[in-house]
Structure 1
Amino acid sequence: MKPTDIKNPEYFHKVVDCQYACPAHTPVPEYIRLIAGERYSDAYMVNWQSNVFPGILGRTCDRPCEPACRRVRVEEEPVAICRLKRVAADNKGDITDRLPAIPKKKNGKRIALIGAGPASLTVARGLAPLGYRLDIYDNQFAGGGMMRSQIPSFRLPVGVLDEEVNYILDMGVTSTFDIEVDSLKEILNKGYDAVFVGTGAPRGKGLNLPG
């Protein structure tokens, strides 16, 4: 018998509806069991591996997993999956020793990341443990992108945002803030092996109302 291919999202559609509905396919039952056992740091790391910002998402995610929760077949309300992320994040201990080790000897490749929002930070989290030298540029005073500029602090406390952003920036990423990158040619002329543009889509839609 072949082992179950859990890397195939269709597997979760067959057996774990909430995990399939999650865009990151976070293993929901696993971290809920860990929370039930008061293993909050373990539950946090299960989330961190798949969705990068558990404390932030525990406050801001639009929860596509919850309408898919099987509990609504027998009860009126689904399991509070999103808020349980926050429970894990708010009750965890120091997890810095669980983060990926960053090699002192680099692989010789330099990558520029334009923008310091969720996309660029996720790229940095994946590449830093592989030995890449990473330079990140952003026009704000700190990392976080639209999480920092668009979500009010009563919804997303600055301390929570800073903590999870810094987990990544502290992986040896060279950060240059308060700078507007208005020429990709200048960036390319710096000799980077690759450039990732993660500037987001900040332009809003006008209502186009007459009068």
Structure 2
Amino acid sequence: MGNPKAFLEIHRQEAGYRPIHDRIHDFGEVEQTLSTRERKLQASRCMDCGVPFCHWACPLGNKAPEWNDALYKGDFELAYQLLNTTNPFPEFTGRICPALCEKACVLNRFNHEPTTNREDEAAITEMAFQEGFIQPKTDIVRNGKKVAVIGAGPAGLAAANDLNHMGYTVTVFEKNEAAGGLLRYGIPNFKLNKAVIDRRIALLEQEGIEFKYGVSLPLTPSKGSGDTDAQQLPLFLERAGGEAFDAIVIASGTPTARDLKAPGRELKGVHFALDMLSQQNRVLAGMEFSKDERVTAKGKDVLVIGGGDTGSDCIGTAHRQGCKSVTQIEIMPKPVEGPEDPQNPWPEWPRTLKTTSSHEEGCTRRWNINTLEFLGKDGKLTGVKVQEIDWKPNPEGGRPIMVEKGKPEIIKAELVLLAMGFLKPEHPAYGNNVFVCGDAANGASLVVRAMASGRQTAQKVNSFLSAKM
């Protein structure tokens, strides 16, 4: 702890976003960076607490006090080494993590000015790449065992990375044309430039991990086949990879979005959020779509149903596509405004109102709104009938009871984006050499939790296979 009084003398300073009038015209990353001097000052605010709640709150167990101290002293190489002991891909979390560690920071309890851990870890990692501190490992000793990883999202990549470093020969199977999962096909470029993913994948390939793209694995029984998933999977992998695998890691995420079965759902103009988000990311990568295939908000009134991060990403994308207006509705009540949440006191994560960079760009936000019907003309969406509702306590306990409030109304919309989350996958009883991790095991959650699950699963695979060596 280089400056024990820094938290008293230096206020929290965030890098902030590019000006709205500038950023809404491109898909470049919206977040700016501080100078090296300013970044060191922010790192100096970390108090090296006796009980580091930041470490407790982080699913990866990041040791923020240690690498913040190294950053403050200007030792970026040591800072990255300390960061990388717990976080395999800090360039991802440094951009998109909601920073559970910052909400649990003692300074957040003290004056609501926590240490800028997320921005600090992004700065450390970018400097490490820039200065050549990050190099592929060339001294990995192979142990003769082979592991297949299904899914190249954050969980699968984290599992593959750790297993590869342990000496296993790892093959990653991915249904899409490139690696990253929701990092690539769900999160917009204005939050995570895809060159950042490409840079890491290139490093993993140099370290020996093999990626096979465009491979859809049979995680559901074949039509007319009596075989179960558990019977099909090893055989399919053996054919796809040309060899048998000693263990299989399933990190296929949550591919099924939650639908809204309201009348008029079939109208042209009603889409899942990822229909738009993944297509836009592919367009930016150079892929072409016909006019009929294109999901675009250009010149349209847009309604986003769902108040989470995916809905926010839809708002930002709609603006960049040239929408006429954006409205976001959420069926649940409006979260508490302000830094503290009485229902989840520090150091727990506060469920308070979140305003993202996309919301700042312009959006009508409403809560306690239920969708009744999609309205259209000649097969095309023209509006959505909604109903303001309220929630009453359930006398029998459990989920509150929804009651109508006021009269139904119509929100004009030519494009509706359903951003209501994803359904948790169901899996059959696999063999004892098959392991499930990330969202595929736990349901949709944070990227940092998926990475933590991937690392934990790699340890389980290693324990299982080590017992057989």
**TM-score normalised according to structure 2 size:** 0.40
Partner Cα distance (1:128, 1:156) in 2: 25
The structural deviation recorded for 1:169 is: 3.0
CA contact (8 A) 2:107 2:115 kept: yes
Q: When you count helix as a share of all residues, which structure comes out higher?
A: 1
Q: When you count strand as a share of all residues, which structure comes out higher?
A: 2
1:96 equivalenced with 2:149 (yes/no): no
CA contact (8 A) 1:102 1:172 kept: no
In structure 2, the CA distance between the partners of 1:69 and 1:96, relative to structure 1 (3 Å rule), is closer
- Give 1:26-175 correspondences, 5 Å limit: 26-92=62-128, 93-97=131-135, 99=137, 101-103=139-141, 106-175=142-211
In the alignment, residue 94 of structure 1 is paired with which amino acid? G
Which position in structure 1 is the counterpart of 2:372?
A: 210
**TM-score normalised according to structure 1 size:** 0.84
Instruction: Describe the superposition over 1:156-180 as per-residue Cα deviations: whole angstroms up to 9, x where unpaired.
Output: 0112122223332322111111222
In the alignment, residue 244 of structure 2 is paired with which amino acid? G
In the alignment, residue 165 of structure 2 is paired with which amino acid? P
Partner Cα distance (1:31, 1:96) in 2: 16
The structural deviation recorded for 1:13 is: 9.9
CA contact (8 A) 1:18 1:66 kept: yes
In structure 2, the CA distance between the partners of 1:28 and 1:100, relative to structure 1 (3 Å rule), is farther
Partner Cα distance (2:76, 2:158) in 1: 23
The structural deviation recorded for 1:33 is: 0.6
The structural deviation recorded for 1:78 is: 1.1
Partner Cα distance (2:260, 2:76) in 1: 44
Partner Cα distance (2:50, 2:136) in 1: 32
Partner Cα distance (1:121, 1:206) in 2: 28
- Structure 1: which 5+ runs fail to align? 1-11
Specify the SS of the correspondent of 1:51: coil
The structural deviation recorded for 1:67 is: 1.3
In the alignment, residue 95 of structure 1 is paired with which amino acid? F
Specify the SS of the correspondent of 2:71: helix
The structural deviation recorded for 1:137 is: 0.8
Which position in structure 1 is the counterpart of 2:423?
A: none
The structural deviation recorded for 1:188 is: 5.0
Counterpart selection for 2:213 from 137, 152, 177? 177
CA contact (8 A) 2:149 2:249 kept: yes
- Structure 2: which 5+ runs fail to align? 1-47, 219-231, 262-370, 374-469
Counterpart selection for 1:22 from 58, 68, 75? 58
Specify the SS of the correspondent of 1:210: strand
The structural deviation recorded for 1:207 is: 4.1
The structural deviation recorded for 1:14 is: 6.7
Specify the SS of the correspondent of 1:38: coil
Higher alpha-carbon Rg: 2
Partner Cα distance (1:142, 1:170) in 2: 16
Partner Cα distance (2:79, 2:199) in 1: 17
Instruction: Describe the superposition over 1:142-161 as per-residue Cα deviations: whole angstroms up to 9, x where unpaired.
Output: 22111111111111011212
Partner Cα distance (1:28, 1:76) in 2: 18
Calculate the aligned-residue CA RMSD, in Å.
Answer: 2.2
Which position in structure 1 is the counterpart of 2:236?
A: 186
CA contact (8 A) 1:13 1:20 kept: no
The structural deviation recorded for 1:71 is: 1.2
Partner Cα distance (1:112, 1:148) in 2: 21
Identity value in percent: 28
Which position in structure 1 is the counterpart of 2:251?
A: 198
Instruction: Describe the superposition over 1:2-23 as per-residue Cα deviations: whole angstroms up to 9, x where unpaired.
Output: xxxxxxxxxx997111111111
CA contact (8 A) 2:145 2:169 kept: yes
Partner Cα distance (1:202, 1:95) in 2: 36
The structural deviation recorded for 1:193 is: 1.0
In the alignment, residue 96 of structure 1 is paired with which amino acid? I
Instruction: Describe the superposition over 1:75-110 as per-residue Cα deviations: whole angstroms up to 9, x where unpaired.
Output: 33211111111111222221334747322xx32211
In structure 2, the CA distance between the partners of 1:40 and 1:13, relative to structure 1 (3 Å rule), is closer
